[in-house]
Amino acid sequence: MDRLSELEVFTTVVDQGGFTGAAKKLGVSKSAVSKHVASLENRLGAKLLNRTTRRVNPTELGEIYYDRALTVLDVANDANRAIADLKGPPSGLLRIAVTPDFGSELLSRLLVEFLTKFSSISVDLIETADFGSLLAEGFDVAVRVGAQPDSVLRSTKLAALRYDLVASPAYLGRRGSPDRIEALFDHDLLHPSRSNTTPGWQLVSSTGESRSIRSKARISANDPTVLRDAALAGHGIAFLPQFLIRDALKDGSLKMVLPELPQQLQPVHAVQPPGRATSPKVQALLSFLRGAVRDAPG
């Protein structure tokens, strides 16, 4: 018998108050229980149990060993359950943190499909631009758009979202259309606001160079729908994900700005705490998002 099994036999004898009860509980013979306890005592060189005709009680050393043995068995059982969970089908509560530019509309729509596909998973979703508390608050995974900053968190690229510069016809009629990236600095800009960063955009020029557009914003907000509505109202130029402005571009309420620029793609990353095995429910979400974001219109 392995040592964990010896611990289980010993603790069961103490719990049941005797060899007969332990044998019944474990489904083995009384002589087998007695043999394993004797083997444990011989290996330790210590008497763990006082035996009487009516009851078996732990010695002083036996009480100490019993407490430690329970701890070891609990840890072993937890480890076994963890492995079983990792090997099992996706299920349980999935805690997701997401940046507003991804969660406001696209992820909420995709989650409906995800939960239909995985009926044993439930979701706790929070929108935040600050992933610093991801570890402390026990989130399973976070999804963010844009370049991934240096971090101890594990990052996996899922896909890329197309972004476009847009403004309303009324704004462009009033202020004119910029003909180059540098001309954006002469316009009212509607920037996303993120903690610890200056509001702005990262654009790819016609020559393939990365250009940083950092300037005072007419409006800054961490909710892209606010920026879209501000652009629709004629308050300036916004840089927004295609899925959020697709209908407005179709009906003409928004117009492309600098349409000759290369396609502007922003990476989508899944972020996880370091050193933690990826559970089936997280694996299911990541696999689903890879396909769903890639196939999303726009």
pLDDT in tens, 98-135: 887 776 577 878 888 999 999 999 999 888 766 666 65
Q: Is 92-158+266-295's fold the same as 161-265's?
A: yes
Give the β-pairing of 154-167 and 264-272. antiparallel
- What is the predicted pLDDT for the residue at 131? 65
CA angle 125, 220, 202 (to 5 degrees): 85
Q: Which CATH superfamily does the domain covering 92-158+266-295 fall into?
A: Periplasmic binding protein-like II (3.40.190.10)
Least confident of 100-104, 199-203, 230-234: 100-104
Tens-place pLDDT, residues 32-45: 999 999 999 999 99
Q: Which CATH number fits domain 161-265: 3.40.1350.10, 3.40.190.290, 3.20.20.10, 3.40.50.11540?
A: 3.40.190.290
- Do residues 191 and 200 make contact, with C-beta atoms less than 8 angstroms apart? yes
- Is the pTM for the entire model greater than 0.85? no
pLDDT greater than 60 at residue 296: no
Q: What percentage of the chain's residues is helix, strand, coil (to nearest 5)? A: 45, 25, 30
- At residue 134, the 3 state secondary structure works out as coil
Per-residue model confidence as pLDDT tens digits over 68-103: 999 999 888 877 776 766 666 788 899 988 887 776
* Contact yes or no for 56/19 (Cβ under 8 A): yes
pLDDT at 15 over 50: yes
pLDDT, position 151: 66
Please give the full DSSP string across 164-176, using - where no structure is assigned.
EEEE-HHHHHHH-
Question: With left for phi above 0 and alpha for psi between -120 and 50, is residue 258 left, alpha or beta?
Answer: left
Is the separation of the CB atoms in 268 and 155 below 8 Å? no
Of 64, 98, 35, the C-alpha closest to 109 is: 98
> Over 50: is that where the pLDDT of 196 sits?
no
User: What kind of fold does domain 3-87 have according to CATH?
Assistant: Arc Repressor Mutant, subunit A (1.10.10)
Q: What percent of the chain has pLDDT above 70? A: 87
